[in-house]
Chains A and B, each alone.
Chain A
Amino acid sequence: MKFRLEIVTPERLVYSENVDVLTVPTVQGEISILARHVPLVSIITPGEIRIKKDDEIEYMAITGGFVQVLPHKVIILADAAERAEEIDIERAMRARERAQKLMEEKRGDKITHAEAMAAFQRALVRIKVGQRKRKQK
């Protein structure tokens, strides 16, 4: 049995299809959602979303947001989400290096350090998801 999944960011509607299983990383751990899941709202942590549709699995990188499970559909309000094929791995790698350098330089500065850390995590997720697509090809 399928359910409707919509992924929206402030910039665009990223995804809108009928799917079988959705797996998202939330603050309380990774959860998988199937059709007829109990209504739920949860906070998403940066990570990888897996969407199973028929026999295909699609991967997406997400930087955070909310998942809202309604009786007939699931809405993900993402800060930013990218499909695996959209990810520019070279750019993500450069972002990781930049963030790493910044983290080392700004060890004393709490706010900048935290920001660099967050940027680093985002870059890691994007690289991970991006590489998955490469392996499949």
Chain B
Amino acid sequence: MASVREIKRHIKSVSNIKKITKTMQMVAGAKMQKTLSALLASRPYAQLAWNLLLNLAPKTERELHPLLQIRGIRNSLLVVITSDRGLCGAFNMNVIGEALRQIKDKETHFLITVGKKGRDFFIRRGYKVIAEFTGLGAPAPFISITPISQIIIDEFIKGNVDEVKLVYSDYVSNVIQRPTTIQLLPFQQEQPEEPFLAQFIYEPSPSEVIENLLVRIIEYKIYAAILESQASEFSARMMAMKNATENAENLIQSLILSYNKARQEGITKELTELSTTKAVIESLKK
């Protein structure tokens, strides 16, 4: 049985931990809200850019655009989006697991990692990581995406890779974050949904507009994936910290119980000693 003082110290340290986890839970919650509203604010752009692309698509030939080219797949590039920090439950391992399922052959699959956790995992195991990005901030500003998309587009146009996929955690709800893989390049072209109304003049030319637009849409897709991933990260952390806070609370309760027990035992022991002594003295007097 631990001494009263030891138990007291233990209670104190656990309540300190509880304070920290509680704070982390609230910070993660606030950041998640911020990230979600950034995600929401980015939707109109995506919608408009996509409409413009669909309008343009019938006017150009797929073969003319390096970003639309479909080649036989020899080498693939995976962009794996994880978090910089831990303490968010199984969040990172879920994404890494999804990436590992996609990688059939270490030799033909190249990686770009976003976030420290993914980087550390894949570099330690000798995967071909061609670039790594960390510390984008939360929510990540759009401008931080440009270098990532630059490398991806360069590698694809040079022919070093024949397809590019994004692996990230899709934010479904507070409790559900689903590891997801989407294809980024070659560009998946869809048929325009609504018939085209106006006949546009394109300056300088349709193909130059499409060239620029494709780059923006690719950037946007990466941006959206990173925001989704960050929202997932924060909600995973929020849940993890909530559990930790609850566990700490339970632990404190049981510690308080044994503290009281130990204290009472002490008192009982002292009382017994006192009354025994008294009885002995009295018997001696007689």
Contact = CB atoms under 8 A, between A and B. Distances in A.
B209 A43 contact: yes
Interface string B220-264: 100100000000000000000000000000000000000000000
Contacts of B46: 10
B198 A39 contact: yes
A11 B40 CA distance: 9
Given A40-B201, A43-B203, A43-B212, A77 B141 contact: no
B interface: dominant SS: helix
A42 interface: yes
Interface in B11-47: 38, 41-42, 44-46
Given A9-B142, A68-B52, A77 B209 contact: no
A38 interface: yes
Contacts, number: 75
B216 interface: yes
A68 B209 CA distance: 11
Contacts of A12: 41-42
B235 to A, nearest CB: 21
Contact of B209 (A66, A75, A80): A66
Interface string A68-97: 111100010101100000000000000000
Contact of A41 (B143, B203, B219, B223): B203
Interface string A39-63: 1111100000000000000000000
Nearest to A11: B142
Q: How large is the interface on B (under 10, 10 to 19, 20 to 34, 35 or more residues)?
A: 20 to 34
Given A41-B52, A43-B212, A71-B198, A9 B203 contact: no
B201 A10 contact: no
Interface in A1-25: 8-13
A39 B141 CA distance: 32
Nearest to B141: A11
Contacts of A39: 198-201
Interface centre among A8, A9, A10, A71, by most chain B C-beta atoms within 10 angstroms, is A10
Interface of B: 38, 41-42, 44-46, 48-49, 52, 56, 141-143, 197-204, 208-209, 212-213, 216, 219-220, 223
- Which 4 pairs across A and B sit closest by C-beta, in order of nearness? A39-B198, A42-B203, A12-B41, A10-B142
Interface of A: 8-13, 26-28, 38-43, 65-66, 68-71, 75, 77, 79-80
